[in-house]
């Protein structure tokens, strides 16, 4: 079975550019999570969806960040405009509930 | 106060020793607790879950939960160099899948 699929794996962009990260959750999972990981702040929950509905986006740093889940098999995290402090590894994870999250391999973002 | 707190380490133990990892959480209403392992450059993976007070054993791993003290721990017996990784404590708030992670404790097992 395919796991959580994220793209791109690596992204290098310049400050001010738009960045779109993509995620395909495991089929049958009804919850999807976006996390950001840095050395300084660890693994931070940005937003999560249950049944394609955003439940809590209080972790989204500011209005430059937005996330969508138009259907059960796809989600995007967009940063516009990007800033150097957004450099991090962004993880998408999915779950059937009960606390076991399955993580994608992550998207490493570098904003110059 | 952070929702989930862990000692960032690094924690270094010799091969064959017991490694003890600790975690505290702030939301007294939390019901579900997890330990994830993350190897360098990889994504986190679940290794243990615990839901009720007491101990839960799975092979060389034992998770311990004390809800009154809002404390979770993970013991790794007979530590192996392959256990060297960052261990993340995670707490689910309520029943809506809201999962928060600690910053992680980096464990090194020396041969």
Structure tokens at B12: 């270094």
A103–B32 C-beta distance less than 8 A: no
Residues 60-99 of A with CB under 8 A from B: 91, 95, 97-99
Examine the pLDDT at A99 and tell me if it is beyond 90. no
Pairing of strands A107-111, A10-13: parallel
The tokens 């009804």 sit on which residue? Answer: A30
Put simply, whether B102 touches A (Cβ < 8 Å) is: yes
Per-residue pLDDT tens over the stretch B70-107: 999 999 999 999 999 999 999 998 767 788 999 999 99
Structure tokens at B69: 């003290």
Examine the pLDDT at B1 and tell me if it is beyond 70. no
Residues in chain B: 111
What is the Cα–Cα distance from B97 to B34, expressed in whole angstroms? Answer: 12
B97–A43 C-beta distance less than 8 A: no
Closest-CA distance of chain A to residue B58, Å:
16
**Torsions phi, psi for B110 (to 5 deg):** -95, 130
Q: What is the mean pLDDT of chain B?
A: 93
- Determine the Cα angle at A28 with ends A25 and A31, to 5°: 60
What is the Cα–Cα distance from B12 to B22, expressed in whole angstroms? Answer: 14
Instruction: Find the residue in B nearest to A47 (Cα).
Output: B98
């Amino acid at each position: 079975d395919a796991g959580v699929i994220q793209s791109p794996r690596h992204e290098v962009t310049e400050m001010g550019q738009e960045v779109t990260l993509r995620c395909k959750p495991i089929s049958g999972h009804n919850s999807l999570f976006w996390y950001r990981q840095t050395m300084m702040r660890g693994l931070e929950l940005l937003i999560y969806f249950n049944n394609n509905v955003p439940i809590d986006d209080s972790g989204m740093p500011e209005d430059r960040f937005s996330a969508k889940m138009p259907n059960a098999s796809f989600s995007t995290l967009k940063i516009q405009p990007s800033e150097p402090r957004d450099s991090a590894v962004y993880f998408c994870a999915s779950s059937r509930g009960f606390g076991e999250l399955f993580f994608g391999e992550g998207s490493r973002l570098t904003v110059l | 106060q952070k929702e989930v707190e862990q000692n960032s380490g690094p924690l270094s133990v010799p091969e064959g020793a017991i490694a003890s990892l600790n975690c505290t959480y702030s939301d007294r209403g939390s019901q579900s607790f997890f330990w994830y392992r993350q190897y360098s450059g990889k994504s986190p993976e679940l290794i243990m879950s615990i839901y009720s007070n007491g101990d839960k054993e799975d092979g060389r791993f034992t998770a311990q939960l004390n809800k009154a003290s809002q404390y979770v721990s993970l013991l790794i017996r007979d530590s192996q160099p392959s256990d060297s990784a960052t261990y993340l404590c995670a707490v689910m708030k309520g029943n809506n899948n809201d999962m928060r992670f600690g910053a992680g404790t980096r464990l090194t097992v020396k041969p």
